[in-house]
């Protein structure tokens, strides 16, 4: 059983990413803002550096409090405390702002306070911690002090979700039940579906459609919803009511291809040749900082075909960078990935990833701006 480390870092603005207004075009169609980026406004120099400041977890320790076996996600409390979802334990592990262990919440099972297959964390404005309990098909929660709260039965399978300020839940909908398939679903605070949204890609092959519509999700302080597609040059912004208000594309150093390939696997001692999707990897993560800027973790080169997702993430320094867009969709700059990572999270002006944390200097305020404007 391998353990893992969650490293925390800080992002410091060394030079403001600026927007000359000459590196993108905008068209408005049916009230939707389409932003076509031609180049980063700041040029090839990032203007932002990421500095590592903290590590939680140790590889060489017998102290079980600092062994993380499968840290799938992390959120921060108002007091700087850090909650880490360790899916293999399973537990929500709480550490203070200095990285000292405080407590574990949860255990394996299907009863109150128990979960299996935890994947994603989020917190509401009261500080309660919510997480997807995949195998039990519910959204469970603890208070910041570890008290068990009532769970929400999910009528659709979510693997990634976010909580809106009014208690609604938005998640990536992988059930694919409707004829008019959508990418995301909004639920009320009790888990009842209210609407689906997000244009999907159709193919005809069920597994291919599943892969083509994989994306990551984020929300900002105004409850605007953002989707970044794993295998498409597409970043969407939606209103809190699920209406598309902005779609962004950007220059990529490769051509996007979607096809099928034949692979050989061994089943019951026999070699079997089967088709599987052969897709271009574009992005693997999105979040919004406290100034409304959009951060997307994007591939700059294509990883080797036979690598698993964790293996691909282990090469993140060489294969990925951060793209930073302003609230209007203009590409500001690229930021190198300083350490190996998978997903990342931003909380206000603090930047966290799995594993990382940081800070950015405010460049523009967007608190009262409409989504995508």
- Flag whether 50 is in a domain: yes
- Flag whether 358 is in a domain: no
- Flag whether 364 is in a domain: no
Which residues, at least 6 apart from 12, have a Cβ–Cβ distance to it below 8 Å?
Answer: 48, 49, 50, 51, 358, 359, 360, 361
Give exposure, 113-128, as e/b (b: 16+ Cβ within 10 Å): eebeebbbbbbeeeeb
Number of domains in the chain: 1
The string of DSSP codes covering 104-161 is EE-EESSSTTEESSEEEEEE-TT--EEEEETTTTEEEEE-TT--EEEEEE-SS-EEEE
pLDDT of residue 14: 37
- Flag whether 1 is in a domain: no
Supply the pTM of this predicted model.
Answer: 0.85
pLDDT of residue 193: 85
- Flag whether 87 is in a domain: yes
- Flag whether 324 is in a domain: yes
- Flag whether 369 is in a domain: no
Residue 340's CATH number: 2.120.10.30
- Flag whether 361 is in a domain: no
Range of the domain at 75: 6-18+27-353
pLDDT along the chain (373 residues), means of 10: 50 44 89 96 73 78 86 88 88 92 89 81 91 82 87 73 93 66 88 89 83 92 95 97 97 92 80 85 92 93 70 72 94 86 71 38 49 74
Which residues, at least 6 apart from 50, have a Cβ–Cβ distance to it below 8 Å?
Answer: 9, 10, 11, 12, 335, 336, 338, 351, 356, 358
Residues 368 and 220: their CA atoms lie apart, in Å, by 12
Q: Which two tokens stand for residue 161?
A: 């979700």
Q: Which two tokens stand for residue 104?
A: 């574990």
């Amino acid at each position: 059983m391998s353990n893992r480390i969650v490293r925390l870092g800080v992002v410091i603005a060394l030079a403001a990413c600026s927007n000359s207004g000459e590196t993108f075009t905008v068209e408005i169609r049916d009230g939707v803002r389409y932003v076509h980026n031609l180049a980063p406004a700041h040029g090839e120099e990032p203007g932002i550096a990421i500095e590592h400041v903290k590590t939680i977890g140790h590889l060489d320790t017998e102290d079980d409090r600092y062994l993380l076996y499968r840290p799938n996600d992390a959120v921060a409390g108002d007091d700087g405390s850090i909650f880490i979802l360790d899916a293999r334990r399973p537990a929500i592990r709480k550490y203070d702002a200095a990285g000292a262990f405080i407590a574990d919440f949860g255990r394996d099972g299907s009863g109150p306070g128990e979960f299996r297959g935890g994947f994603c964390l989020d917190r509401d404005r009261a500080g309660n911690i919510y997480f997807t309990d995949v195998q039990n098909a519910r959204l469970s929660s603890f208070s910041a002090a570890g008290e068990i709260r009532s769970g929400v039965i999910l009528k659709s399978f979510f693997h990634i979700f976010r909580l809106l300020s009014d208690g609604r839940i938005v998640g990536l909908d992988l059930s694919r039940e409707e004829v008019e398939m959508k990418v995301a679903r909004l639920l009320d605070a009790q888990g009842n579906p209210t609407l689906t949204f997000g244009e999907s890609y159709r193919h005809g092959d069920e597994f291919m459609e599943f892969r083509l519509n994989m994306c990551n999700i984020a929300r900002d302080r105004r409850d605007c919803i953002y989707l970044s597609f794993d295998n498409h040059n597409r970043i969407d912004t939606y209103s809190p009511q699920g209406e598309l208000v902005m779609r962004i594309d950007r220059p990529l150093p490769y051509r996007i291809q979607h096809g099928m390939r034949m692979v050989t696997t061994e089943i019951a001692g026999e070699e079997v040749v089967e088709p599987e999707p052969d897709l271009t990897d574009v992005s693997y993560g999105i979040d919004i900082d406290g100034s409304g800027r959009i951060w997307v973790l994007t591939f700059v080169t294509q990883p080797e075909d036979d690598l698993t997702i964790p293996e691909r993430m282990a090469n993140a320094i060489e294969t990925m960078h951060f793209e930073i867009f302003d609230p209007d969709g203009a590409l500001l700059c690229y930021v190198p990935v300083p350490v190996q990572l998978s997903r990342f999270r931003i909380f206000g002006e603090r930047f966290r990833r799995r594993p990382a944390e940081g800070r950015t200097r405010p460049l523009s305020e967007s608190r009262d701006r409409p989504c995508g404007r």
